[in-house]
Amino acid sequence: MKKIAHIDLNAFFAQVEMLKNPSLKGKMIAVGNSERRGVVSTSSYEARKMGVFSGMPMSTALSICKGLIVIPGHYSEYSRMSKMFFGYLQKKFPILEQASIDECYIDMTDYLIDGEEKNQLFDLQMELYKSTELKCSIGLGKNRFLAKMGSDYKKPLGLTIITDANLQELLWPLSIDKMYGVGKKTAPRLKELGIQTIGNLATTKDPEVKKALGNMFEYLQGEANGFGDDVIITAAFDPKSISAERTFSEDVSSYEELKGMIKVCSLEVEKELKYYNKECKTVVLKFRTPDFVTRSQRITLKEPIYEVKDIFTAAMTVFDRVFKEQSFRLLGVGVDKVSQRRIVEEQKEDVLLQKINNGLLEGGKVFLGSKLKDKKDEDK
């Protein structure tokens, strides 16, 4: 039987903001792109106690949580910290699958000793916190589903092992909307049919429930009974699309102001493309009008791009086609169906510089030249 772990960074964006600014520790904070019209990306546990959660409109969060501190977010720093954290884990556990910027699955079958799993995982938690300053919750089970449910069971710094022996005690009493894989639209429908808990789903034979879930019924019921996939895909996290958007505090109709925001979003997309060594042919412009109607239009190019100037030009081509001197409350730029960036002749100088900065050249010795110094200065 395999031993699959799921490691989830606790309120990751909020954690990073607290590391950047220690005065935020212990305070109610929310990361989001606008104080009034944006949405909450994540919130500190202090804010969650007041009812502030991811996906909530920022205006609602501010109304229910007086004194909430709103932070616009530093996504390049989140990417850097994520890469550091999972890179550290990957050195210890080669069978690791990064599921998102703040979570991963690990096959620990050959690492954990029978009967010592809890102590070993606790030691790993403390080691990770000491080495990276990041807190995480860990779930362990014989498959991915049980591991994921385990990491969600208790936060922050939770550690839950779900086995065949304790599955009914730990999971079955949980509300059906707490089950991983049951969406926000499906859960209310199941509750209407009498499926209030995971245990209800695990034991039901109701044909109406089967009809409501369709071909997902056997799969979800199987998971509720402890079955599931135990395969870990070790390929690196590979985004298929990248985007950045901004919600304005007030409706904006100024062409120059909107153009400026498109450039800001294009720059963020470029950073992510370069971080993952990607390029794209499709650029998407997302926009929301004052009546809350959200639309998107795209343009497909003949040749792949990754530089901000090309992303911006493509996005502006779409914007000029769309803009009729109306107001917008949100603008976003994205790229779709991204692919691995090709190394062509004009990029060789960049690759050479990267190798120099990484200490890979200069006769096999670590080279700490002025260009590396400049890069460090920029990173500061």
Q: Provide the percentage of residues in the chain whose pLDDT is more than 90.
A: 66
Q: What angle do CA 124, 130, 134 make, to 5 degrees?
A: 85
Decide if domain 241-341 falls under CATH 3.40.50.300: no
Q: pLDDT category, 79, cuts 50, 70, 90?
A: confident
- 218: tokens are 């056997």
> SS3 of 356, please?
helix
235 or 1, higher pLDDT = 1
Q: β-pairing, 29-32 with 339-340?
A: unpaired
- The percent of residues above 70 in pLDDT, for the chain, comes to 88
Residues carrying CATH 1.10.150.20, the chain: 168-224
In the chain, which segments carry CATH 3.30.1490.100? Answer: 241-341
What is 168-224's CATH topology? DNA polymerase; domain 1 (1.10.150)
**Residue 162 reports pLDDT greater than 80:** yes
> What is the rounded average pLDDT for all residues in the chain?
87
Strands of the sheet with 40-43, listed across from one edge: 40-43, 29-32, 69-71
In eight-state DSSP terms, residue 167 is H
pLDDT digit string, tens, across residues 228-275: 999 998 866 677 889 988 877 678 899 999 999 999 899 889 888 887
Residues spanned by CATH 3.30.70.270 within the chain?
1-160
Classify domain 1-160 at the CATH class level: alpha beta
pLDDT-derived band at 36, boundaries 50, 70, 90: low
DSSP structure class, residue 157: S
Distances from the Cα of 114 to the Cα of 123, 127, 224, angstroms: 15, 21, 24
Q: Which residues are catalytic?
A: 103
- Write out the two tokens for 1: 């039987």
Q: How far is CA 263 from the centre of its chain?
A: 23
pLDDT for residue 380: 36
Q: E-assigned strands of the chain?
A: 4-9, 29-32, 40-43, 69-71, 96-100, 103-107, 136-141, 159-161, 241-252, 278-288, 294-305, 328-336, 339-340
